[in-house]
Each structure stands twice: as C-alpha cells, then as structure tokens.
C-alpha cells in the first residue's frame, strides 16, 4: 500500500478525463464563459503534472518496453468493449501505467510484472471513474495467461 | 509518502496515539489522535479494506485523489498523509491523516439552539463567505462535493475558520454518478433535481445545499427537514411553490416527476424572518428551481450581502 501514491509529489494534481460532454446544454447557459476558461486553464495545468518523467521514451526503448506496452494497450481496448467502459478509462489506465513505470524505473522488468501492473492500473481507473466496479477476477478473464491471486495485485 | 523498504517508515500504530473516537465519516470511523513524533493533534479516518481483497474502496481512492488536489485551499480540510495499519484481528486498514478541527457546523448551530441565542449576523456572513469560497475552489477544479451539510463543515471555534470535509462522495464533473444510497445520506440538503431523479448533475446541486445551510445558520433549524424523498420534495414545494414548466422548463420530464399537490410560492422571509434584504436575495438565488439559474459559488462571493464583510483574513 505504500506505493498507492507512486511516490509522486505530495499535493500534485490527479489525472482527469476530458472526453465526456455535459449532455444538458441548458445547464451551461447561466455560467460565464470566463469561469469555464478558468476551469479549462486549471485542467491544462493538471495535465502537465500527470506526465511521465523526462527522457521516458529513451528508457522505454532501452528496456524493450515498446512492444509489451502495445500488447497491454490492446488488452485495455479489448476490456473497454467487453465491459462497455468509457474510452476515458483506457486513457487513464495507460496514463497510470506509464506514470508508475516512469517513477519506479528499474532495469529488471519482465512481462508478468507489466501484466500485474496493468491489472492494478485498470482496476484503479475503474474504481475512480466508473459507476460500478469490476472485481479483479472479472478483469483478468479476458486475457491473462494465468489468473493472479487478488491478494498479490 | 515515504518510499517502501525505508527503515524510517512507521505503521499507523507506531506513528500515532489514538485519543478518542470523535465520529463516523461517510464510510468509516474518525479518531482524534496525537502524532508521536511531533505531538501534533490530527484526525485519523479509518477505512477497512474489503474482505475480498479488492484493494482500496472507490470512495477512499476518490477522496484521496480529490483531496490531494484540493488541500491547498484553506477552506478544504487538509489531508496530511495516508498510512497503512492493522486492526486487532490483523486485517489491513488504511488511515487518512487530516488536520484536526475542534468542531463542526452542526454542533456549532446546536450550541446556539440550546442556549436560545442567535448566531451573530457577522458570524453568519463570515462562515457563509468561507463556505462559498471553498465551494468555488472545488468547482473551479472540476469537483462536485454532493454531500454538503453542517456535519461536513469543520470549524475552529477560536478563529471561526470553516473547512469543507468528507469528500468521499465527491466527483469530478465528468465522472458518471450512481444514484445516492438512500440510507447513508441525509435528505435535507438535497437539491430538487436530484430528488426528482435527474442523472446529469451540475455544480448547482452543491449551491442548493449551501442555501439550505445558510437558512439553517439564521434560524438554527433545518429549512427542509424531510424524512422521505417524497416528504423532502413536499417541504420544498410548500415554501417555493410546486414547480411547473413555466418556472422550471423540463421539470415534468424528470424520472420521478408525478402529480403533486399545488402550492403557491411563499416569500422566503416567512421561513427566514430575521435575514435582511440582501441576505434574502442571495438565498433566493441559491434556491432557484432551475439548476442553470442558481447562482454560482464564485458569483455568490461577489454578492452585495458580503460587501461589509472584512475579507482580509478569509
């Protein structure tokens, strides 16, 4: 649990999704454009703080991370359609995964570690951003080579 | 938080001495405690992790995530740390470590009710300004609170500082919303569009709650004390009049809309007789039926009701 916050700088901003649109246009009428511009500026500011460390792409190449990353992204997309999740979930999950890898850079990654991390990131993204949760077991049935015990995730 | 494996990491039990249980948050117990290293008094909010090993509950994840973003504002309770610990049965528990605040607005209002005194008008004005400022900060960062009520507004009675707490049900604007869990949330501060089953909330749901709290500060009684969703609506309709398509376009299409008894609107001064004209005007703008017509928290801060308030320390 000590890694829950990935050792990111305390009081940093959290990731946010931008894709969903407020569906009731009437609700927007009374608010000043000025206020929305301010909120938008805050969102842009947050986005910078949710990026991986500098030189991260070099690290990915050096550690042969590109291809395995693409495999897990394909899995996230498959999960999205299988469980009817929002597209924002895929974005957030990938963001969480790369932020974590960026902060905990080590040189001994193996594919099973990436798979385990992927499950954890998807679970957290669902918990934060969906109405109903999915159990860790449900998440895994779509792809994994073997089921990780919930306790280890 | 400290890195894993470091020798200096203390578990919650080692780092804090629990002094007393002071309440229950939305989903967990809250304790007053002393940090052993510094002697500082903090509030520990305990969250037991699920039996099924599904990790940290969504409400706690959201609260931590949102509080990390919002704790910079002086009117949102400050989350200082997150600690892992174990309870007596060896089960893992998570502690959110907050700055400690001596009381909350619910207790504050109750103390005036018991002595029969009214809350001084300038105190009401100061508390309301701080509340609007804290809510404006949350909304400016894309966060709805959704459970504003006197119990969730912590206070320091010496300085009259007010802070928003209990963001376990808070949401980013874009996150889909599950229907409220009936048993947990008090109805009294709930906006009519929520009661009528709207599924697309806006910042206006928090403004309605702020308006109800405003009236309660003045009268020391809840403005709309319903004990069921229907009774809650009827309380509102008796004072503000039963809404129709003229005053609230779209109201009859809401999921829980039915035929209701028809009441004409009463003047707000009948419900809040001792509030002055400017206060009544601000309150009326907070209690508009149509969500898009309700005043924003930021605009409320600019309302003339607050003109004579010394804001330098708020």
Residue of A nearest to B12 (CA): A2
Structure tokens at A75: 């899995």
Cβ contact B249–A26 (<8 Å): yes
Residue A122 lies in a domain: yes
Residue of B nearest to A127 (CA): B58
Among B52, B53, B78, B98, the residue to mutate for chain A (most A Cβ within 10 A) = B53
- b/e map of B43-80 (b: 16 or more CB within 10 Å)? bbbbbebeeeebbbbbbbbbbbbbbbbbbebebbbbbb
Per-residue pLDDT band at B14 (split at 50, 70, 90): confident
Q: What is the pLDDT of residue B2?
A: 35
Question: Within 13 A of A112's CA, how many CA atoms are on the CB side?
Answer: 6
pLDDT over 70, % of chain A: 67
Residue A75 lies in a domain: yes
Beta strands in chain B (DSSP E): 16-24, 29-35, 41-48, 79-86, 92-99, 103-104, 143-144, 153-156, 161-164, 171-172
Cα-trace Rg, chain B = 21
Query: Would the CA dihedral through A152, A80, A84, B180 be positive or negative?
Result: positive
Instruction: Tell me the binding residues of B for ATP.
Output: 45
Residue A32 lies in a domain: no
Alpha helices of B74-203 — where are they, by DSSP H?
Answer: 105-115, 121-140, 192-195
Q: Is pLDDT of B15 > 70?
A: yes
Q: Is pLDDT of A17 > 70?
A: no
Q: What is the pLDDT of residue A65?
A: 78
What value does the mean pLDDT of chain A take? 70
Residue of A nearest to B137 (CA): A39
Structure tokens at B289: 């039926």
| pLDDT tens per residue across span A116-130 | 888 888 888 888 877
Shortest Cα distance, chain B CAs vs residue A26, angstroms: 7
Are B241 and B264 within 8 A, CB to CB? yes
pLDDT over 90, % of chain B: 59
Cβ contact A10–B68 (<8 Å): yes
pLDDT over 90, % of chain A: 0
The domain defined by B103-306 carries CATH number 1.10.510.10: yes
| pLDDT tens per residue across span A51-60 | 777 777 787 7
CATH class of the structural domain B13-99: alpha beta
Q: What residues of A are in contact with residue B94 (Cβ under 8 Å)? A: 1
Distances (CA, A) of A147 to A61, A141, A153: 29, 8, 11
The number of distinct structural domains making up chain A is 1
Shortest Cα distance, chain B CAs vs residue A74, angstroms: 24
Q: What residues of B are in contact with residue A41 (Cβ under 8 Å)? A: none
pLDDT greater at residue A100 or residue B112 = B112
pLDDT greater at residue A20 or residue A114 = A114
Residue whose C-alpha is closest to residue B210's, from B303, B141, B146, B143: B146
| pLDDT tens per residue across span B236-278 | 999 999 999 999 999 999 989 999 999 999 999 999 999 999 9
Q: What is the pLDDT of residue B103?
A: 92
Q: What is the pLDDT of residue B175?
A: 64
Shortest Cα distance, chain B CAs vs residue A71, angstroms: 24
Is B169 near chain A, with CB under 8 Å? no
Mean pLDDT of the B271-299 span: 96
Residue of A nearest to B82 (CA): A2
Q: What residues of A are in contact with residue B74 (Cβ under 8 Å)? A: none
Least confident of A5-14, B170-179, B224-233: A5-14
Per-residue pLDDT band at B156 (split at 50, 70, 90): very high
Q: What is the pLDDT of residue B50?
A: 64
Residue of B nearest to A28 (CA): B292
What value does the mean pLDDT of chain B take? 87
Alpha helices of B168-273 — where are they, by DSSP H?
Answer: 192-195, 204-219, 229-240, 268-271
- DSSP for B274-289 reads TS-HHHHHHHHHHT-S
Residue whose C-alpha is closest to residue A56's, from A92, A90, A95, A98: A98
Are A103 and B3 within 8 A, CB to CB? no
Mean pLDDT of the B47-60 span: 73
**Catalytic sites of B, residue numbers:** 147
Per-residue pLDDT band at B302 (split at 50, 70, 90): very high
Compare CB distances from B69 to A14, A128, A136 and report the shortest one's residue.
Answer: A14
Least confident of B2-11, B123-132, B244-253, B291-300: B2-11
Cβ contact A42–B142 (<8 Å): yes
Cβ contact B174–A12 (<8 Å): no
Kindly report the number of other CB atoms within 10 A of residue A76's CB atom: 21
Q: Is pLDDT of A146 > 70?
A: no
Per-residue pLDDT band at B288 (split at 50, 70, 90): very high
Q: What is the pLDDT of residue A149?
A: 58
Instruction: Tell me the binding residues of B.
Output: 45
Q: Is pLDDT of B154 > 80?
A: yes
| pLDDT tens per residue across span B169-194 | 777 766 665 554 443 467 999 999 99
Query: Would the CA dihedral through B269, B274, B280, B286 be positive or negative?
Result: negative
Shortest Cα distance, chain B CAs vs residue A27, angstroms: 5
Q: What is the pLDDT of residue B176?
A: 60
Residue A91 lies in a domain: yes
Among B292, B294, B296, the residue to mutate for chain A (most A Cβ within 10 A) = B292
Q: What is the CATH number of the domain that holds A136?
A: 1.10.472
Q: What is the pLDDT of residue B39?
A: 92
pLDDT greater at residue A97 or residue B27 = A97
Least confident of B14-28, B79-93, B228-242: B14-28
3-state helix, strand, coil in chain B (%, to 5): 35, 20, 45
Shortest Cα distance, chain A CAs vs residue B196, angstroms: 16
Compare CB distances from A30 to B62, B142, B292 and report the shortest one's residue.
Answer: B292
Q: What is the pLDDT of residue A27?
A: 44
- b/e map of B246-278 (b: 16 or more CB within 10 Å)? eebeebeebeeeeeeeeeeeeebeebbeebeee
- b/e map of A80-92 (b: 16 or more CB within 10 Å)? beebebbebbbbb
Cβ contact B69–A150 (<8 Å): no
CB within 8 Å of chain A, chain B residues 266-305 = 291-294, 296, 298
Q: Please name every residue paired with B163 in a beta bridge, in sequence order, or none if there are none.
A: B154
Are B188 and B222 within 8 A, CB to CB? yes
Query: Containing domain of residue A137, as a range?
Result: 54-151
Q: What is the pLDDT of residue A16?
A: 39
Structure tokens at B168: 């376990």
Among B8, B10, B69, the residue to mutate for chain A (most A Cβ within 10 A) = B69
Spans of all domains in chain B = 13-99, 103-306
């Amino acid at each position: 649990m000590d890694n829950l916050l990935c050792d990111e700088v305390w009081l940093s901003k959290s990731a946010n999704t931008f894709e969903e649109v407020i569906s009731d246009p009437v609700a927007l009428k009374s608010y000043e454009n000025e206020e929305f511009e301010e909120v938008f500026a805050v969102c842009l500011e947050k986005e910078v703080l949710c990026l991986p460390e500098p030189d991260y792409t070099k690290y990915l190449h050096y550690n042969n991370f590109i291809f395995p990353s693409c495999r897990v992204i394909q899995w996230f997309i498959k999960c999205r359609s299988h469980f009817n999740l929002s597209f924002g979930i895929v974005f957030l999950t990938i963001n969480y995964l790369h932020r974590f890898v960026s902060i905990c850079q080590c040189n001994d990654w193996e594919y099973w570690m990436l798979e385990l991390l992927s499950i954890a990131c998807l679970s957290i993204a669902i918990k934060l951003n969906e109405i109903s949760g999915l159990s860790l077991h449900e998440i895994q049935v779509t792809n994994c080579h073997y089921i990780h015990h919930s306790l280890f995730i | 938080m400290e890195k894993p494996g470091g020798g200096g990491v203390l578990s919650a039990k080692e780092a804090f001495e629990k002094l007393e249980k002071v309440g229950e948050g939305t989903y967990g117990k809250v304790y007053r405690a002393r940090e052993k290293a510094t002697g500082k008094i903090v509030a520990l909010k305990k969250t037991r992790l699920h039996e099924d090993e599904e990790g940290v509950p969504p409400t706690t994840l959201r609260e931590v995530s949102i509080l990390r973003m919002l704790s910079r504002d002086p009117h949102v309770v400050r989350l200082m740390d997150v600690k892992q610990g174990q309870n007596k049965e060896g089960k893992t528990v998570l502690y959110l470590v907050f700055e400690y605040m001596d009381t909350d607005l619910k207790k504050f209002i109750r103390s005036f009710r018991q002595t029969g005194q009214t809350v001084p008008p300038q105190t009401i004005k100061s508390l309301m300004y701080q509340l609007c400022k804290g809510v404006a900060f949350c909304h400016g960062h894309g966060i709805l609170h959704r459970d504003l009520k006197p119990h969730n507004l912590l206070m320091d009675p010496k300085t009259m500082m007010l802070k928003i707490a209990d963001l376990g049900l808070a949401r980013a604007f874009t996150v889909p919303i599950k229907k409220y869990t009936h048993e947990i949330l008090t109805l009294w501060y709930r906006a009519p569009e929520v009661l009528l089953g709207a599924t697309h909330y806006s910042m206006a749901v928090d403004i309605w709650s702020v308006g109800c709290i405003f009236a309660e500060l003045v009268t020391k009684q809840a403005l709309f004390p319903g004990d069921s969703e229907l009774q809650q609506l009827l309380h509102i309709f008796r004072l503000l009049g039963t809404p129709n398509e003229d005053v609230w376009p779209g109201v009859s299409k809401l999921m829980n809309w039915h035929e209701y008894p028809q009441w004409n609107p009463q003047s707000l001064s009948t419900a809040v007789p001792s509030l002055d004209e400017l206060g009544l005007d601000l309150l009326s703008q907070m209690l508009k039926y149509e969500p898009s017509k309700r005043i924003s928290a930021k605009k409320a801060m600019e309302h003339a009701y607050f003109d004579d308030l010394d804001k330098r320390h708020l």
